[in-house]
Structures are given as structure tokens and as C-alpha cells.
Chain A
Amino acid sequence: MLQDLVNKIREIPPLSASAMRLMRHAGDEDFGPDRYAAVVEQDPALTMNVLRAANAPALGIRGEVTSVRRAVALLGARTVLGIALGTSCPVVFNKALAGYEAGRGDLWKSSLFTAAAARALSERCKTKLAPDTAFTAGILHDIGKAVIAEFLADRTTALVGAVSNFEEASFSDAERALLGADHAEAGYVLGKKWGLPESLLAAIRHHHQPALADISHRPLVYCVHLADITAMSAGFGTGADALRYRLDTGYKNLFDLDETALADVILTAQMEFERLAEPLAGE
């Protein structure tokens, strides 16, 4: 079974060079809009997607936006990065997740909400946590679901039952019992193949068990852990696994978060999701 997962990961194409470059510079203050636009302009597919987003009716811009620089300025760096990531690997974000009973686009919406929540949560972190890195990690955290979903097909009832009956402590445990690896581990292997930086790899690998992360990565990993739970709570899960996990209350050492602050995070994420969802809809 593990060999099947490895083969499956081998089939998934790399992220585009432009997405990789933008990601590497996320949150880098020296990397201004001009340099951002220069990366976009070198990638015809991304240029088209960015211009289309800038001309989306939701933005309400009068007149046609034809310059990449202006589009980047209008959309903002984070949105452009979101477009680059979301469109650079459609076999990951845009496919239905069989075993989770999630439709086409559900993983993308869930990832986008998680990204928005992670950005909002980064402000509540007691140590310094770059909002754009939190956003990027939120987009990428569940890529492993696209790897393992087809191997869970027709097993949804058994997986869900195992967690409901307390045979397994979480949906991840049920995945491991069935496949030998869970979506977090599969995502980590895929992310490694893509050449993602260590911090993002840690966020992907440990987002359901943040205490296992190296201490230097914990603020980001706990941020994504909480953002993922926020997304599932707000109705942006990916079907069968939604809410079938455990919260690690160790986040309290790293985040200032009470009920009111959490409500504010949910609302802020919802509004950012609504703002981004249309320009980032893809096709």
C-alpha cells in the first residue's frame, strides 16, 4: 500500500517555477510589487490568471486592467501568491477527494479558508510569525489529501465508523490504520519532492500533531493546526474527516486566544475568504 502512495506522488507534477519563487519571497519586505510583477510576467499562464482576477467583477475596477504591475498592486501580494499556488497544480487542488466524499473545489475552498484563518491567527501569536508564511502554509497543509483520497475510496463508512466508535482517536489514525500513512505524511513527502522550505514541510507534516514539530517550527505548525480546526468548524472542511480530530491545547503557550478572539478570527477569515474566493476561483 505504501508503495502505491509513493508511486502516486511520483505522478504529481512539480509546482510551477513562478509559484516556487513567489513562495520563497513571501513576507520578504525587499521583494516589492515590481519584483513580484516581474516574476508573474515571466509566466504566461500566471499572467493570464492574475489579469483575469484583477478584472473580476467582484473587484469593481472601472476600465480594463491590462498591466501586470497594476494587477499585482490591486490584488495584493498574498492574493497573487494564492493564485500562483492554486493554479500551479490543478491535480492537487482541483480534484474531487473520493474517500472523503468531497467534491471538486472543496479542497481548494478549505485550504483558502485555512490560509485566511492562519493569517488572522498569526497576529495572536506570542512570538513573531510572518502572516504571509502562515497564509502559504494554510494553503498547502492538506495537499496530502489529494494523494491518498483515491485509496480511501469506498472506505468512507468504515473510516468514519472507526472514529465514531473510538476505535481510532482521529481520522488521521484511521487513515494510518488503513494505508500505513496519513494525509499529513503523504503531503510531507509530496512537499519534499516539490522542494518546499523546511518550515512549510513541518506545517504540512505535523498539522494534526503539532507537538511533534521541531521547537523552532512550532509557532507556524500550531498556527496551521488551529487554522485547520477553525476552517472545519466554520463549515470549510473536506467532507468525511471534518472535525474528527483532536485539538492540542498546547497552543496556549504560543497563542493568546479566548472565545471572543476566536470568534473574531472566524469572522475575519470568512470575510477574507469571501473577498478572495471569486478572484481565485480558477476554472
Chain B
Amino acid sequence: MDTIILGVGDYGVSNKAGGGIKTYALGSCVALILYDPRKKTAGMAHIALPDSSIRKERAASKPGYFADTAITSLIAAMSRLRGDSRRGLVAKLAGGANIMDAEGTFSIGSRNVAAVNDLLARHGLSPLAQDVGGQFSRTVTVNVDTGKVTLSSPGRKDWEL
């Protein structure tokens, strides 16, 4: 399989038959997956933090790192490949795990998930499916042919979204 691997803060798109996009060990990060079933085009971003306003220079060099800049960049990259805007796009989310924190300062995953959902809504999208939260790290792959998302985590059987 022709698989694109994304690091932290990367995003990528593909319409290659038989291809995939994969990212490892999300932790509190969120994988935002966009898919166009008609044009068989997939995109993914590995988002680490909710808001780019904390470091604009970083957002310029790695837009996928922050939820706000990741969504606009990913939608734009998808549009270039599909020749269309947001119509017909399906969104899925995975990741956003948290450490057990009684007070919530370290609930980074929850803040990421909330930010991505909020921004998706503002772009007129809502996630079709999400596998988020919990206390474990996920590895995620999207299949370009089907839009099917496969998740894995050490000590568990793989599952699908």
C-alpha cells in the first residue's frame, strides 16, 4: 500500500488508488480525517494544539499543528485535488486522549476535540464518526479507496471507524 506517513503537525491528502494516510501515537493530539466518497479523495491532519494565536510563526511553517490553521489548510488541499470546495466532504475524528487529571489543566485532548468540532461546525461540517478521549494513544490510518479509518493501540485489537 502506498501510504503517506504524517508526523506531529503535518497534514496530507491523497487520491491514489490503493493508497492510505497514516499517523502514529496521537496521545492528546487529534487526527482530523476528511473524505470525499465520490472522488475517492482522503485527507488527514495531525493536530497538536487548539489555537495558533500562541505562536503565529509556527502556524506559518506548520499549519497542521493547530486546529484552526489545520482545518483551513486541509480543506484547501482537498479542494485542489477534488476541484471543489466543501460539498460532499465527510469528516471523522480520532485521538484526543487525556491523562487522569482531577482538575483539568492537563485535559489537552478534550480541548483539542472541542476546538476541532467547533471549527468544523463553522465550516459547515460535522463529524460523521469519532473515536476520541480515553487514557490511551491511538495510531490511525485512512484508506483512500473506501474512507474507512483503522485504529490501533498497543495491547488491543485493531478497530474501525
Could you say which residues of chain A place their CB within 8 Å of the CB of B55? 264, 267
The answer on a CB contact under 8 Å between B27 and A233 is yes
Residues 235-272 of A at the B interface (beta carbon under 8 Å): 235-237, 239-240, 242-247, 249, 257-260, 262-264, 266-267, 270-271
The answer on a CB contact under 8 Å between A234 and B48 is yes
Could you say which residues of chain B place their CB within 8 Å of the CB of A67? none
Residues 117-161 of B at the A interface (beta carbon under 8 Å): 135-137, 154-156
Does B8 reach chain A (CB closer than 8 Å)?
yes
The answer on a CB contact under 8 Å between B111 and A259 is yes
Distance A140 CA – B54 CA, assembled complex (angstroms): 30
Distance A257 CA – B100 CA, assembled complex (angstroms): 17
The answer on a CB contact under 8 Å between B29 and A235 is yes
Q: In the complex, what's the smallest C-beta–C-beta distance from A242 to chain B, in angstroms?
A: 4
State whether A160 and B108 are in contact (beta carbons under 8 Å apart), knowing that A235-B25, A243-B27, A245-B99 are contacts in the complex.
no
Counting chain A residues whose Cβ lies within 8 A of the other chain, the interface size class is 35 or more
In terms of DSSP, what is the predominant structure of the interface of chain A? Answer: helix
Out of A247, A258, A266, A271, which one reaches B102, CB within 8 Å?
A247
Does A204 reach chain B (CB closer than 8 Å)?
no
Does B13 reach chain A (CB closer than 8 Å)?
no
Could you say which residues of chain B place their CB within 8 Å of the CB of A161? 155
The answer on a CB contact under 8 Å between B54 and A247 is no
The answer on a CB contact under 8 Å between A237 and B27 is yes
Interface string of A30-66 (1 = CB under 8 A from B): 0000000000000000000000000000000000000
Could you say which residues of chain A place their CB within 8 Å of the CB of B65? 267, 270
Out of A100, A243, A264, A271, which one reaches B136, CB within 8 Å?
A243
Give the 6 A-B CB pairs with smallest separation, nearest first.
A160-B155, A101-B154, A240-B154, A233-B28, A235-B27, A156-B155
